[in-house]
Structure 1
Amino acid sequence: MPTIAADIEIDVPHADLFALAQDYDLRLRWDPFLKNMEFRDGATEAAVGVRVWVRAHNGLTMEVEYITVNPPEQVAMKMTQGPWFFRQFSGAWLFKPLAHDRTRVVFRYNFSTRPRLTAPVVEPIVARVLTRDMRLRLQGLKRSAETTDILSELRHS
């Protein structure tokens, strides 16, 4: 089962980045991968056991369940429903303070594909595509956090 990761350093405190990453209204403004996100079952914020439905700009949809929420350092989720070709899928965001106003953000995915017979060929291709998307998402977070007033909006909401 492949594990892939991407990381970036951002000149913003880790608590602010964690909050921005978990604010779904603002996230749709900086995350180039996501088109829609909706909490399920009346939930309004991330918590262990909460499910979220997401639609990517490429049209794929997935429902995930939070398995770890440890503000302001970590959030992790696993797929409960998703594209047929994923047998298993999970992801995590890690926010590691490097200084008062500098953070390393690490984004990880673990996945396996089906059918298993094709996995040795398909999984390296999927890993390349997902790694590219992860890097674009991290760059979107960095650009928004460092060069726009989105953090001010977050603090005032």
Structure 2
Amino acid sequence: MAYMALIEQRLEIAAERARVYEVSQDYAVRYQWDPFPERIAFVGALQTVQRGARVEVVARSGLRMEVEFVQVDAPQRAAIRMLKGPLLLKQFAGSWVFSELGPQRTQAVFRYNLKVQPWALPWLLEPLAVWYFRRAVVARMRGLKNYCEQLVN
């Protein structure tokens, strides 16, 4: 297996796991808590979060990526892989996993794996890509936590 950089962040959320998962995958409310996307739209025949569904994501930074859901196991996990993306990225995949810690307590784990193109000076640009996505993950997790915890209170 080829090396891919790993970005992983964990955060405890004071809300029920099913609710956290639902909020995380509901694109109607996504813009209320998620600072990353400018636009999210389903592409193709599948118009709900399910295995095989394709989604185009345009980040506020201008980064554009088309991803496919490769695993959907509500309320525990959703995983994607990049189909089309920035020229710099050779591969990108991610998963959001939600574990029940107790009543109204959920652990969220966001994992992203990425690999930059071999011609893109990986020794230089891969750490920058990791920095960019790690920053985005931290902000997204904080947004999800704040939104879900406000729903509970």
- Class of the TM-score when normalised by the shorter of the 2 chains: over 0.9
Among candidates 31, 37, 40, match of residue 40 of structure 2:
37
Give TM-score, length-normalised by structure 1.
0.91
- Correspondence for 1:63: 66
Which TM-score applies when normalising by structure 2? 0.93
**1:24 corresponds to which residue?**
27
Contact 2:40 2:57 in 1 (8 A): yes
Task: Give how far 1:130 is off.
Answer: 1.0
1:17-76 per-residue CA deviation (whole Å, 9 max, x = no partner) reads 101111001011110001111111132211111100111000111000000000000000
Q: Could you tell me which amino acid in structure 1 is paired with residue 65 of structure 2?
A: M
Residue 94 of structure 1: aligned partner: 97
In terms of fraction of residues, the more helix-rich structure is: 1
Distance in 1 (alpha carbons) for counterparts of 2:132 and 2:62: 15
Match of 2:7 among 4, 7, 18: 4
Aligned residue identity for 2:143: G
Q: In the aligned structure 2, how far is the partner of 1:45 from the partner of 1:105?
A: 22
AA in 2 matched with 1:26? V
Change (3 A) 1:29 1:117: closer
For structure 2, the 5+ residue unaligned runs are none
Q: Deviations over 1:95-133 (max 9, x none)?
A: 011001100100010010013561122111211221111
Structure 1: which 4+ aligned runs deviate by more than 4 Å? none
Specify the code of the residue in structure 2 equivalent to 1:18: Y
Q: Distance in 2 between matches of 1:97 and 1:22?
A: 17
Q: 1:124 to 1:146 in 2, by over 3 A?
A: same
Q: Does 1:145 align with 2:151?
A: no
Q: How far, CA to CA, are the matches of 2:121 and 2:44 in structure 1?
A: 36
Q: Distance in 1 between matches of 2:72 and 2:46?
A: 14
Answer whether contact 1:89 1:110 (CA < 8 A) is retained.
yes
Aligned partner of residue 134 in structure 2, secondary structure: helix
Aligned residue pair count: 150
